Structure 1
Amino acid sequence: MDIKHSVYIALFAAITAALGIFPPINIAAIGVPITAQSLAVMLAGGILGAKRGALSVVLFLVLVAVGLPLLSGGRGGFGVFVGASGGFLISWIVGAYVTGHIVEKAWNKLNVVYAFASAAIGGIVIVYAIGIPWVAVAAEISFNKAFVGSMAYVPGDLIKAVIATAIILVVKKSYPIISKSED
C-alpha cells in the first residue's frame, strides 16, 4: 500500500471522527444512539473501496479503543465495545467492506441504483445484522425487542444512504479513487 492510499485511509478515519461532532440522539429502548457517523461507513466503502474503506474504519475504531473521545457525544475507550453499541461499532468494518465490494464490482456501470444498493446493503443491512443481536445480548433483552427498537433508526439510515449515494457518484465522476483495475 502506497502513501496515497494510507492518506486516504487516515482521511476517512478523520471524516468519521468529524461526523461525531453532531450530537447523538439517544433511544432509551435499546441504549444505542443515533449518530451521523454511520454515514462515514457508507462513504468510506463507496469512495475508497472494500479494503481501504474497511481499513479506515479499523483505524478509527483503534483510536476509539485507546481512549480518544471520537464517538458522537464524546465517547471513547474500550468500554464502548462491550456495551450495547459495541456490535454496531464492530459491524462498521464489515459494512464498509461490503459497501466497497459492491461498488467495486459495479464500477463500470455504477449509477444511482447500484450506489444506493451498496450503501443500503453495507451500511444498513450488514450493520443491523451484526448490531441487533449484540444489542439483545448486551442489553439483556429479547431479539424481537432489539429488532423492533432498532427500526426507529431505519428512516435516518435511509436518508444517510441517499446522501452517500450522491457523494459516491460525484466523487466517482470528479475524482475516482477506486480504479477500474480494482474490478
Structure 2
Amino acid sequence: MSQNTQAAAAAKSKFSVRDICYAGLFAAVIAVMAQISIPMPLGVPMTMQTFAITLAAVVLGSKLSAIASLVYLALGAVGVPVLANFSGGFDKFVGPTGGFLISFPLMAYIIGLGVEHRDAFKGAFVTAVIVGTVVNYVVGVAMFVVVAHSTVAVGITACVLPFIPTAIIKAVLACAIGLNLRKRIPGLKA
C-alpha cells in the first residue's frame, strides 16, 4: 500500500471536528427526547428515545449515530440525568429496561447502514429500520425477562405490544425528518 493510499485510508477513519460536533449535538437531542416519557402499567415507559436514535441514524449514518448514542449512554451511566425522567446511573442499565438502552448503539448502527446503502440496494433503508427496531425490542425483552424473572410472553406483553403503533409512527416521522435534514446539513452525503 502506498503512502498516499495509507494517508487516504487514515483520513477516512478519523472523525473531523464537524463530525464530533454532530455526534455531540445528537447525543443532546437524544437526552432531550428521552424526557418525553409516558409511564406504562408494566413499568416500561413510552419515550421518544427510539425516535431520537432513529433520527440520529438517518441524519448521521452508521458510525456517527452509534457514537452519538454511546456518548448519551456514557453520560447516563456516570449519573448525568439524561435518561428518561431525568434519571441517570449505572443501575438503569442493569434494571428491567436496561436492554433497550444498551441496544441503542447497535440500533443506530444498523439503521445508519441502511441509509448509507439506500441507493445501492433497494429496500435497504426500510429493512434496516425494521431490523434495528427489532434488535432494540429483542435485547430489551431479553433483559426484561432476566431481570424481572418473567416469561417471554410477559416480556412481549409489557415491552413490545403496547409500543408497536407508536414505534411505526416514530420510525416514519424520524425517517421523513431525518432524510430532509440530511440533505441540508453541510458535510453529510445526501
TM (normalized to structure 1)? Answer: 0.87
Residues 1:151 and 2:132 aligned together: no
| Unpaired segments ≥5 residues, structure 1 | none
Equivalent residues, number: 175
RMSD across aligned positions (CA): 1.9
Deviations 1:81-135 (A, max 9, x none): 010110000011100000001111114678xx6544433332x211012111111
TM (normalized to structure 2)? Answer: 0.84
Q: Alpha carbons of 1:108 and 1:170: their partners in 2 closer, same or farther (altered >3 Å)?
A: farther
- Measure, in 2, the Cα distance between the counterparts of 1:19 and 1:177: 25
What is the match of residue 25 of structure 1?
38
Of 162, 173, 176 in structure 1, the residue corresponding to residue 172 of structure 2 is 162
Note if contact 2:183-2:189 (Cα within 8 Å) is conserved in structure 1. no
Give the letter for the 2:161 counterpart.
Answer: M
The worse-fitting range, judged by mean Cα deviation, of 36-45 and 6-15 is 36-45
Query: Which structure would you say has the larger Rg?
Result: 2
What is the match of residue 145 of structure 2?
136
- Measure, in 2, the Cα distance between the counterparts of 1:141 and 1:45: 32
- Measure, in 2, the Cα distance between the counterparts of 1:171 and 1:109: 22
| Unpaired segments ≥5 residues, structure 2 | 1-14
What is the match of residue 58 of structure 2?
46
Note if contact 2:55-2:178 (Cα within 8 Å) is conserved in structure 1. yes
- Measure, in 2, the Cα distance between the counterparts of 1:72 and 1:159: 20
What is the match of residue 68 of structure 1?
80
